[in-house]
Amino acid sequence: MIIFGTKGYLYQLAILTLVCGQCGNPAAHTLRKRVTKFTLFFVPLFPISTKYLTQCTFCGAEQKVTGEQAEQLQSQSTSGPSGQAHGQPQQHDRF
């Protein structure tokens, strides 16, 4: 018997102040990295997919960004005075 599946990890990379494309308010946005890994016998082995997104803290709208855009936003946040970086990962199981 072989047990396999996927497990999702969510990393908060930075908190940015941006104007939301959905609600139009200048609000804090979290920059997140979502990694889905293949698991074998409950051991995560390798990443299957990696996605980057921002989420508005005012209205909750999420927007996908590319890896390049995420790197640019993260470098802007670390050079800015209000940027926070490298949060703790959160695990999310997928069935």
pLDDT digits (tens, 9 = 90+) for 64-78: 999 999 999 888 877
The whole-model pTM stands at: 0.72
Mean pLDDT of the chain: 84
Residues 6 or more apart in contact with residue 95 via CB below 8 angstroms: 5
CB 87 within 8 A of CB 13: yes
Strand partners, 26: 19
pLDDT at 88: 44
Extents of the domains making up the chain: 2-42, 47-77
